[in-house]
């Protein structure tokens, strides 16, 4: 691809799970792709902060970045390089070890359209509340396996505070047994009904609880799709178009 000279025409690049790719290869690729807007380096386990530096240096138009599971990149490196990516409005960075403090810093000076900070066992309910209160433009939220933080009460707060969310990943949060509180929050805030796609595998939400939610909120939950098994993984957190 580097030798083809076609890099300037590439707007989306998905390298998810390429275990053999290195920082040097990423750098060589990105220097040829100045117009790249959406990049996934998810689960590229050999990459380090050097690849993140290459993104910040070469991709001035980048809007969406997925580095989830790329665990040799630290949250400190993400925060340090964010100012160099002013157009970035979606970041999926689960598994990097987010804490209440680092997540607050991530959300303190930018309005995000998509955030993913799952697999963070040091995030707390109060930390999520503080960090997400200002994110009223958020459309996609991925917080799977944040078991110390997410419960039914917090879900209600998020439903009330995040009126534009249309895709929600809450897999692995076994303290959540219903989506009713999410819609309770939306109703209390006077929010309009919107389509909602939820990944809830390994939570304690059941088909029976979904039916109850739709019975209690027949209008708000009309466009609810909730995946309780593995069939929704391909859809995942739905990305916006480039």
Average pLDDT over residues 165-184: 98
Give the 3-state secondary structure of the chain. CCCCCCHHHCCEEECCCCCCCCHHHHHHHHCCCCCCCEEECCCCCCCCHHHHHHHHHHCCCCCEEECCCCCCCCHHHHHHHHHHCCCCCEEECCCCCCEHHHHHHHHCCCCCCEEECCCCCECCHHHHHHHHCCCCCCCEEECCCCCCCCCHHHHHHHHHHCCCCCEEECCCCCCCCCCHHHHHHHHHCCCCCCCEEEECCCCCCCHHHHHHHHHHCCCCCCCEEEECCHHHCCCCCCCCCC
Give residue 9's pLDDT.
87
Question: Is the pLDDT reported for residue 242 higher than 90?
Answer: no
What does the alpha-carbon distance between residue 3 and residue 77 come to, in Å, rounded to a whole number? 30
What is the average pLDDT across 164-192?
A: 97
Q: Does 11 score more than 70 pLDDT?
A: yes
> Residue 235: its pLDDT value, please?
44
First to last CA, the chain: 20
Q: Render pLDDT for 119-169 as a digit per residue (tens, 0 to 9).
A: 999 999 999 999 999 999 999 999 999 999 999 999 999 999 999 999 999
Mean pLDDT confidence for 96-107: 98
22 pLDDT above the threshold of 70: yes
Q: What is the pLDDT of residues 34-58, one digit of tens each?
A: 999 999 999 999 999 999 999 999 9
Give pLDDT, residue 5.
Answer: 67
Side-chain half-sphere CA neighbours of 32 within 13 A: 14
Task: Supply the pLDDT for residue 1.
Answer: 57
pLDDT digits (tens, 9 = 90+) for 194-238: 999 999 999 999 999 999 999 999 999 999 999 998 765 444 444
pLDDT on residue 8: 87
- Compute the distance between CA of residue 205 and CA of residue 212 in angstroms, rounded to an integer: 11
pLDDT, averaged across the chain: 93
Give the model's pLDDT for residue 4. 62
Q: Taking residues 191-195, what's their average pLDDT?
A: 93
- Percentage of the chain exceeding pLDDT 70: 93
């Amino acid at each position: 691809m580097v030798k083809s000279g076609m890099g300037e025409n590439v707007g989306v690049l998905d390298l998810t799970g390429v275990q053999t790719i290195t920082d040097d290869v990423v750098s060589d690729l990105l220097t040829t792709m100045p117009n790249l807007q959406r990049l996934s380096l998810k689960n590229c386990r050999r990459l380090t902060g050097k690849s993140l530096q290459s993104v910040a240096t070469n991709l001035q138009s980048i809007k969406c970045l997925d580095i989830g599971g790329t665990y040799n990149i630290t949250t400190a490196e993400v925060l340090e390089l964010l100012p160099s990516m002013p157009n970035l409005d979606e970041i999926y960075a689960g598994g990097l070890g987010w804490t209440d403090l680092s997540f607050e810093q991530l959300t303190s000076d930018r309005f995000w359209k998509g955030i993913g900070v799952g697999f963070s066992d040091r995030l707390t309910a109060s930390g999520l509340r503080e960090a997400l209160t200002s994110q009223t433009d958020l459309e996609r939220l991925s917080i799977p396996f944040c078991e110390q933080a997410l419960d039914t009460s917090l879900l209600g707060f998020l439903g009330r505070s995040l009126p534009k969310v249309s895709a929600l990943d809450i897999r692995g949060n076994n303290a959540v047994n219903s989506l009713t509180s999410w819609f309770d929050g939306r109703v209390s805030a006077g929010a309009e009904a919107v389509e909602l796609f939820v990944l809830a595998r390994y939570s304690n939400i059941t088909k029976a609880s979904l039916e109850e939610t739709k019975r209690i909120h027949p209008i708000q939950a009309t466009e609810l799709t909730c995946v309780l098994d593995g069939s929704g993984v391909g859809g995942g957190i739905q990305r916006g178009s480039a």
